[in-house]
Amino acid sequence: MGYDVPPVPETLIEDLAYNLGEVEARRWLVAAREVAGRLIAQWQLVPHQVLAGGAMSLCVKCADPEGRELVLKVPTDVAGGAAETAALRAWAGDGAPACSGRTRRPPRC
């Protein structure tokens, strides 16, 4: 089972650079890919692709060991990511994506 993070779309790099600056975006992306790779391995996920369209996170479309599709999200802002996780848990999948039981606060990138 491969645990490598798939290639990052150029549009995501550009969007991150717009928000963080070119140097910081590339530095953050290296660290975020390392975090995502560790979580993919730890949770035995099968990564499919890095999703484009975000500007504040690295989102990797994956499947869990049971074959369920999910998105692993590593935010640029830990506090913002924690707030988003809390909101998603409160909604409990009612009109919003459900959080996996694997949700945890990742180390800072």
Q: Give the pLDDT confidence of 12-24 residue by residue, as tens digits.
A: 999 999 999 999 9
**Where in the sequence is the domain holding 64, given as residue range(s)?**
10-91
Quick: pLDDT tens for 58-70.
999 999 999 999 8
Res 101: pLDDT: 64
Q: Taking 50 as the threshold, does the pLDDT of residue 79 lie above it?
A: yes
Quick: pLDDT tens for 1-11.
446 899 999 99
Q: What is the DSSP string of 45-87?
A: -EEEEEPPS-SSEEEEEEE-TT--EEEEEEESSHHHHHHHHHH
How many Å apart are CA 32 and CA 72, to the nearest integer?
A: 11
Number of domains in the chain: 1
Q: Is residue 72 part of a domain?
A: yes
Q: Is residue 65 part of a domain?
A: yes
Q: Is residue 75 part of a domain?
A: yes
Quick: pLDDT tens for 82-101.
887 788 778 777 777 777 76
Q: Is residue 105 part of a domain?
A: no
Q: Is residue 29 part of a domain?
A: yes
Q: Is residue 53 part of a domain?
A: yes
Res 86: pLDDT: 82
Rg over CA atoms, the chain: 14
Half-sphere exposure of 88 (CA within 13 A, CB side): 14
Q: Is residue 1 part of a domain?
A: no
Q: Taking 60 as the threshold, does the pLDDT of residue 73 lie above it?
A: yes
Q: Is residue 16 part of a domain?
A: yes
Helix (H, G, I), strand (E, B) or coil at 93: coil
Beta-carbon count within 10 A of 99 CB: 18
